[in-house]
Amino acid sequence: MLATAELTRRERAEVRLGGFGGQGIILAGSILGRALTVHAGRNAVMAESYGPESRGGACVAEIVIADGEIAYPRVVSPDVLVLMSQQAYDKYAPGRPAGAVLIVDADLVDPGDEPPPGLLRAPATRLAEELGKRIVANIVMLGFLAGATRIVDVAVLREAVSASVPRGSEKLNLAAVDLGYQHARALLGEGAS
């Protein structure tokens, strides 16, 4: 698994977020892209794909991050995969590159009897339910992503979340970011620094 500092320093990184329609996968990708570009001054591009269903169909957001030009806007070899549904896990986890960080929603994804090495389980749905709104599981997962990979600074992510979520929901969404971030840091034994 890539070291967290290694992901932070990379000139180019590719992130794939996968789940099903209704989980806010596209919004999460947009927030991550906004955090990296508007608030952190990097370049990023996002591509999205989803099924024809408004809820329940496959949904993917791909974010390419770079310090320089981005010549091709699609993820070719993801450095990080964040998978929030069993369908996304079954499709993307087996072909992931060696060393890619694999984060799954522990409540919705069963990696089987022999989980792949380096798998990180984020109880995003359960943590969101503890906050009282399951709908913020995607934001919990973004906080977890920041804490587990350091690909985006949590302060920058908080700014992007505040600017991207519906008015009146900022407090809940910021609590979701913080809860996911703290859970990742605790899981990795590094505290909430």
Question: What pLDDT digit, counting tens, does each position of 154-173 carry?
Answer: 999 999 999 999 999 999 99
pTM of the model: 0.91
**Mean pLDDT confidence for 15-24:** 94
Q: What is the DSSP letter of 29?
A: H
Residue 117 has pLDDT above 90, yes or no: no
How far is it, in rounded angstroms, from Cα 99 to Cα 106? 20
pLDDT of residue 54: 59
- In the chain, what are the domains? 4-187 (3.40.920.10)
Task: Tell me what pLDDT residue 57 has.
Answer: 78
Confidence of residue 191 (pLDDT cuts 50, 70, 90): low
Rounded CA-CA distance 159/165 in Å is: 11
Cβ of 53: how many Cβ atoms within 10 Å? 12
Residue that is written with structure tokens 């001054």 in the block: 41
Structure tokens at 29: 């990708």
| Exposure class string for 149-162: b at 16+ Cβ within 10 A, else e | bbbbebebbbbbbb
Rounded (5°) CA angle 150-154-157 = 110
β-partners of residue 83 are: 18, 104
Quick one: pLDDT band at residue 193, thresholds 50, 70, 90? low
* Count of CB atoms situated within 10 Å of the CB of 166: 7
| DSSP-H helix ranges across the chain | 4-9, 25-34, 86-92, 124-130, 137-149, 154-164, 170-187
pLDDT in tens, 31-87: 999 999 999 999 999 999 877 655 667 899 999 999 999 999 899 999 999 999 999
Three-state DSSP class for 31? helix
